[in-house]
Amino acid sequence: MSPTDPRTPSEGGTPSDPRTQSEGGGANDPIVAVTELRKSFGENHVLKSIDLSVAQGQVLALIGPSGSGKTTVLRCLNGLEIPDGGRVAFRAGPSVEFGRPVSRRQLAALRDRSGMVFQHYNLFPHRTVLENVIEGPVQVQKRPKDEAVREAEDLLRRVGLQDKKDQYPHQLSGGQQQRVGIVRALALKPALLLFDEPTSALDPELVGEVLHVIKELADEGWTMVMVTHELAFAREVATEVVFMDGGVVVERGHPDQVLRDPREERTRQFVHRLLNPF
């Protein structure tokens, strides 16, 4: 499951301590940089000029109230949403300027760089667990099937689902389905993993098994952007927390700072509300 070059944590960081990378030189060398991203749905200005960059090995947690635009940022990163303006640039990869016609090839190049884990898993219900995982490697990356199967079985073993490989998604629990969703994204060996509220649809007792897998990936040095409401998890796993509200980035910084001692009043209110719901 360890990412391979050029995705291995760069010099200066060790996979077991990804935080050192974001604080070290990694930030100067972002794996993806987003500048002045704008997006409206009709009159609703969801994103009003967002700048973000994600360094190699960094785990960026996007938090904020619903409607703040955090999921839209994530979806713009892989072209599921077409921004109205701005730029998404991958290191040694595609650099797409929005606000002008964007070709399908450019969108495909963007998607090629990232893997996505959905809130509602979005597994292919007509394919078995194993078929879900090898679909991308075999159909898109044109890799030999036996090799893809071997890798998929390894990945499934890593998340404890080797004995479920011939089952259909509906036969699995939500937590199991989401772990398959993560493995499906990993199988393509993307430079960047995107998580869209990966535990929000799960029963509370199933949240842990999914977060556990995500934490392991973080420890292995995968670069991730994760929209989440799990503040405790963000504090433990993220290297940087970005708080969004009303389509802008209100505050960003080290998790301890943003979540414990926010500079902005809006951040303070949001964190307080999430930690003290009653």
Angle at 58 between CA 232 and CA 267, to 5 degrees: 45
Residues numbered 147 to 186 that lie near other proteins (CB under 8 A) are 168-171, 184-185
Cα separation, 87 vs 275, whole angstroms: 35
Cα separation, 124 vs 118, whole angstroms: 12
Nearer to other proteins, 105 or 278 (CB): 105
For residue 196, give the H/E element and its range. strand 192-196
Look at residue 149 and give its three-state secondary structure: helix
Paired tokens of 42: 């009709």
Size of residue set near other proteins by CB under 8 A = 30
**Could you say whether residue 78 binds other proteins (CB under 8 A)?**
yes
Nearer to other proteins, 100 or 104 (CB): 104
**Could you say whether residue 263 binds other proteins (CB under 8 A)?**
no
Nearer to other proteins, 141 or 269 (CB): 141
- Residue of 29, 70, 22 whose CA lies nearest to 218: 22
Residues numbered 84 to 143 that lie near other proteins (CB under 8 A) are 104, 108, 111-112, 114-116, 118, 120, 122-127, 135-136, 139-141
**Could you say whether residue 199 binds other proteins (CB under 8 A)?**
no
Q: Please say whether the beta carbons of 209 and 229 come within 8 A.
A: no
Q: Give the footprint of other proteins on this chain (CB under 8 A).
A: 78-80, 104, 108, 111-112, 114-116, 118, 120, 122-127, 135-136, 139-141, 168-171, 184-185, 188
